[in-house]
Structure 1
């Protein structure tokens, strides 16, 4: 059964609360949705979120990459030839990892739909419920304290605090979160590259000295400063996680070689999809590194695919799958949902998605036989 068409949609979905980090202030999810259709009319979905400060890919560049390169490459090919189709997509262009991820996820989704099984089962797993943390957007001491208290009351027992906006006052922010959330809630920090190495060591050591119980600190320094990341790791006791520093295997090998981090955050939009993410998880596991799977600000498509991979492969710590929690309303028909502090995957073929319902959907282009 051949691939008959590749549709590219632009989708914008509002958030219920601004998502603020050391890198950005976001009020909407902006993403390119790729829909791959076979000759029987069955569809598989994937997405390429626009995150300028991490991947550098825009909606326009992802649309162009999919419509001008990947669509002509795939239309007419056997939809069940999953490994070869994904390999061709991965090698067709340099960079453009979000666009690769969108097509890779859509190919996997379509393959699972054609088999009539949930994506997680096609990946080799059986769980349909996956725990997640929830992020606390960067803000004032008071706003973070209120958010921490609310999220803990809702049942979230792992809070990811966005810091890195001001090293001088970040200690006060984390202290306020701990006091509001209580001693049983796990707290992890994400500086999103916001500190210098010296600032990172100063902040982390101060938190260690007062027994704040931080689970780990994610990407404390600039993504290219792997030497600085290693220096921080060498000078603190708290585990250090690499995020923006690791897109692909070459990046991870360099982090391992320099012993720059204790763990990594694998994201589909950085690694080119499920295929690349699996390789990173396996390499990290072989090297004894800790792992979580995260997501950009995405819809149920990308987050559901990430959660499916976690359910099938597992990670060493609770993963970061809260992106859809930030949406004001569902962006798709069907798909994953939340139950307390967990992602619930649909017991339906593929990602369980039958269409798009976001506030703004514009079909940008398409390719078909």
Structure 2
């Protein structure tokens, strides 16, 4: 043991690539593997914390190579030799080291893991709660309609009570047909969540919302129907009061959330740790949403369990989190340690605490 003080001595990186059960397609791109960079932060007292960051070229604007480069050249030099007990200053330095949110998230999650280990409590307790189980929806990517219907039936048979359907990949008429057909196949008790991933203009989205509402299906919300910067469009759709509107790509940090909340532009906000740069900013966003009466969802990219475990912990202990979309657990061919699955229920033990 190099010393008794909790000083950051070394930060090691390891690329991860986990093949998916099947390709996953949205209106923006197709993904075939859960790619991530694992981060191991070593303290001089021998403690090691683990985290991971997942890049997404169309959402966070990064790749595996840029993520690793930013970690090596910007983030790691800013933190080596720092005392983890100087927590607020440490997080400030981390968030100022780069603009690449997955890089920040990867290290911040490792630091939270370290902090929990330093005081010998689970991450959930560090975040303020004891609950360790959440119920997730399951997402159906854009593909041939018979394949989407087959997936819907399979997910329902496994106990999922909510299906998230990707839309916006072509004609609105095709989207409406997908939603109607999947809803019929799934049954009336299954909640539907639609995600357009910025695919529509405001005018197109107004038509889509009107026609989807007319179907009178059990739709929880339409997620990011217009471009991320189109706050006016989100506000217009929300003011229609026909279907709840959720922001995703529009919100990375607290200021993004505040911009939408202050003009009552959305009903819900999707919090993803890869967008927020980790747990600290996520907590600020959730608290701001709660103060405006706006509930949140905790979602994810297609990630490894090293970042999904803290996402589950965050969702489990924050009362304002109403929806959970952490289905990446089920998308990889080889199941990973750290998360127990029972149908749609995800349970973490002692999050990343025994690693």
Q: Tell me what 2:63 maps to.
A: 58
Structure 2 unaligned spans of 5+ = 1-5
**2:322 partner SS:** coil
2:173 pairs with 149, 168, 171, which one? Answer: 168
Residue 364 of structure 1: aligned partner? none
1-structure distance, mates of 2:175, 2:251: 25
Q: What is the CA-CA distance between 1:85 and the residue it aligns to? A: 1.4
Shift of 1:236: 4.5
Tell me the residue number matched to 1:135.
Answer: 139
Measured against aligned partners, the alpha-carbon deviations of 1:252-296 in whole angstroms (never above 9, x if no partner) come to 122123322111001111111101100000001111112111111
Distance 1:100 1:47 in 2: 10
Match of 1:263 among 238, 258, 268: 268
Secondary structure of 1:8's counterpart equals: strand
C-alpha displacement of 1:177: 1.2
Change (3 A) 1:318 1:119: same
Check the 8 A contact 2:23/2:31 in 1, yes or no: yes
Tell me if structure 1 keeps the 8 A contact 2:142–2:166. Answer: yes
Moved more, 194-203 or 128-137: 194-203
Q: CA deviation at 1:316?
A: 4.0
Q: CA deviation at 1:98?
A: 0.9
Shift of the alpha carbon at 1:330? Answer: 3.1
Report what 1:36 is aligned to: 41
Q: For residues 250 and 9 of structure 1, do their structure 2 counterparts lie closer, same or farther at Cα, with a shift above 3 Å needed?
A: same
Task: Tell me which residue corresponds to 1:238.
Answer: 243
TM-score (norm 2): 0.94
1:327 aligns with 2:332: yes
Per-residue CA shift, 1:167-215, capped at 9, x if unaligned?
A: 2210010011111111111111011111222222212211211211211
Q: How many residues align?
A: 349
Contact 1:3 1:37 in 2 (8 A): yes
- Matches of 2:319 and 2:139 in 1, distance apart? 20
Q: Distance in 2 between matches of 1:315 and 1:336?
A: 22
Q: Select 1:290's aligned residue among 278, 283, 295.
A: 295
Give the secondary-structure state (helix, strand or coil) at the position aligned to 1:109. Answer: helix
Instruction: Name which structure has the greater RCO, CA cutoff 8 Å, separation 6+.
Output: 1
- For 1:132 and 1:353, locate their aligned partners in 2 and report how far apart those are by CA, in whole Å: 25
Q: Is the 8 A contact 1:48 1:102 kept in 2?
A: yes
Q: C-alpha root-mean-square deviation of aligned residues, in Å?
A: 1.5
Instruction: Answer with 57-66 or 143-152: which moved more.
Output: 57-66
1:269-348 mapped onto 2 (5 Å cutoff): 269-331=274-336, 334-346=337-349, 348=350
Q: 2:298–2:321: 8 Å Cα contact kept in structure 1?
A: no
Match of 2:3 in 1: none
Distance 1:279 1:116 in 2: 25
Q: Distance in 2 between matches of 1:201 and 1:106?
A: 43
Quote the Cα distance in structure 2 between the aligned partners of 1:353 and 1:18: 32
**Secondary structure in structure 2 of the residue aligned to 1:288:** coil
How far 1:160 sits from its partner (Å)?
Answer: 0.7
Report what 1:351 is aligned to: 352
| Paired position in structure 1 for 2:129 | 125
Q: Structure 1 residues 130 and 191, CA, compared in 2 at 3 Å: closer, same or farther?
A: same
SS in 1 for 2:323: coil
Q: Please show how residues 193-204 of structure 1 align to structure 2 within 5 Å.
A: 193-204=198-209
**Quick check: 1:144–1:176 contact (8 Å CA) kept in 2?**
no
